[in-house]
Structure 1
Amino acid sequence: MLKVLEATGENRDAAIENALRQLGMDRDDVSVEVLDNGKRGFLGIGATPARVRVSYEGPDEPVQKSAPAPVEKKAEKPVQKPAPRPAPTEKLSITTEDTTPRLVKPAPKDFVPQKLDGERPPRRERTERTDRPARTDRPRREGSRPRRERIERPITPSVPKEREIIPVSEAAMKQAEELAINFVGGLLHKMGIENEITVLPQVEADQLRLNIAGPDMGPVIGRRGDTLDAIQYLGSLVLNNALEEHVRLSVDTENYREKRSESLERLARKMAMKVVKSHRSMTLEPMNPYERRIIHAALQDFNGVTTYSTGTEPGRRVVIAPENGYRSHH
């Protein structure tokens, strides 16, 4: 006769062990159906026990007769052990088919659950094997593709690559000088600024350098060189729209470019020392591409830091970060 017993436990395996202990059977003698895997809950709140249903073959129950036939010798009745009284903390699980109360006890600490049909066994801790040969020593199957080695790519700053210098012909440079002087002089005249423009000696083969002199060059420089940069930018547009060859224009006054470069280099080294000490990234104020290149170049060989640019123009900034790649903005 097929009988059914339901049991509960802290988890699925504990519930199965409780049922087997109640029946006094082995795992191979019963069939298990998991009704509820249970929940652990958070800090014991909302936890529910696991519940399983165990089916097993039990002896047929004797059919009561109206008048049992007399026998010469009474059959010995099997001695039944009295059911143990449940402890106050133990739970009773009663099924609909078998009304006998069953004790549900917690699983022992040294209990090892057995593998159920169609269920995964508990995961074992992985142990390192010393007798296994290295993967590189294994023979590779014929026709298999070679494994690509994983390359750790370090974080590199967005320093501009070396610019390719294309020499400008002498005729194009002469034409550029005339166009630039006329444009910059006319622009300053419209601004009401008295000026004198001279051409500085050529340093690079594609660059035209102009210097503006006058009694008051403060308005020409502007706040942090903004006005001077704008004059240089507009002059570059005029040259490259009129000429077939590319000419880089540099406009300076009162040696502002060199002084600004030295100031930025000092700022870069000062901030880099703070980054090394605090191990935290520092973000500088927005700068134009020329000034950002000065910062990158000044810290290119500075031990312990790396630089990169972030944001969009005109608010693009230079970030000085620890060399290990930790980019937490300050």
Structure 2
Amino acid sequence: MTNTTPQDANPRTTQLEEEGEIAADYLEELLDIADLDGDIDIDVRHGRAAVEIVAEDQESIKHLVGNGGEVLEALQDLTRLAVQARTGERSRLMLDVAGFRAQRRAELTELASQAVEKVRSTGAEVELEPLNAFERKVVHDVVAAAGLVSDSRGLEPQRYVVVQPAAE
């Protein structure tokens, strides 16, 4: 008799865990080349492989985030390409370094909540500053959970979210 774990029951979870393992191998090699100390945490969250580079001294890896997360975005793109090269499938893996995305998610949740309250109190739409794709997704999720409507407008890198009252 074989034991079936919840992982075995969901092939998608197993595939995402494999993506995480491939990404971790790629990132560990990158850290070795750059002579940086760091550990790799792997998880599956929100239907995506989630990988984070952490270190005892978080400051030692902060330059992997860059100004406003620019280096992190590039590193995530490279990691996704490395996963795709091994699996043949497009990856939606999320990469975080030193908790930057987690902190940014909290900030964006607050920003979106404030915009929701302003729309509710004034009835007028609210435009936010330009955000990257990850940031826009966080805002859209908060707005939808609040029962309002949001829309992305503009072209990269000036693409931004507009929060609107719910359709009557």
Give the shorter-chain TM-score range: 0.7 to 0.9
Q: Which runs of 5+ in 1 are unaligned?
A: 1-164, 326-330
* Structure-2 residue corresponding to 1:240: 84
**How far did residue 239 of structure 1 move?**
1.1
Secondary structure of 2:51's aligned partner: strand
What RMSD in Å do the two structures reach over aligned CA positions? 3.1
Taking structure 1 as reference, are residues 309 and 204 closer, same or farther at Cα in structure 2, changes over 3 Å only? closer
* Structure-1 residue corresponding to 2:118: 274
Q: Is the 8 A contact 2:41 2:52 kept in 1?
A: yes
**How far did residue 264 of structure 1 move?**
0.7
What percentage of residue pairs aligned between the two structures are identical? 25
Q: Which amino acid aligns with 1:208?
A: A
- Matched residues in 1 for 2:145 and 2:93: separation? 29
Between structure 1 and structure 2, the one with the greater Rg is 1
Q: 1:199 aligns with which of 25, 41, 49?
A: 41
Query: How many pairs were matched up?
Result: 156
Q: Is the 8 A contact 2:50 2:94 kept in 1?
A: yes
The structure in which a higher percent of residues are helix is 2
* Structure-2 residue corresponding to 1:211: 52
Q: Is the 8 A contact 2:43 2:50 kept in 1?
A: yes
* 1:318 equivalent in alignment to 2:135: no
Secondary structure of 2:129's aligned partner: coil
* Structure-2 residue corresponding to 1:45: none
Q: Which runs of 5+ in 2 are unaligned?
A: 1-9
Q: 1:216-235 residue pairs with structure 2 within 5 A?
A: 216-235=60-79
Question: 1:277-297 deviations in whole A, cap 9, x for unaligned?
Answer: 333322212222222111111
Secondary structure of 2:44's aligned partner: coil
**How far did residue 266 of structure 1 move?**
0.6
Q: 1:69-84 residue pairs with structure 2 within 5 A?
A: none
Q: Which amino acid aligns with 1:243?
A: T
Q: Normalising by the residue count of structure 2, what TM-score does the alignment of the two structures yield?
A: 0.73
- Matched residues in 2 for 1:310 and 1:166: separation? 36
Secondary structure of 2:131's aligned partner: coil
Q: Normalising by the residue count of structure 1, what TM-score does the alignment of the two structures yield?
A: 0.41
- Matched residues in 2 for 1:276 and 1:261: separation? 22
Question: 1:203-242 deviations in whole A, cap 9, x for unaligned?
Answer: 466x333221233232122223222222112110121133
* Structure-2 residue corresponding to 1:184: 27
Taking structure 1 as reference, are residues 281 and 219 closer, same or farther at Cα in structure 2, changes over 3 Å only? same
- Matched residues in 2 for 1:204 and 1:306: separation? 21
**How far did residue 193 of structure 1 move?**
5.8
Q: 2:134 aligns with which of 286, 290, 307?
A: 290
Q: Is the 8 A contact 1:228 1:252 kept in 2?
A: yes
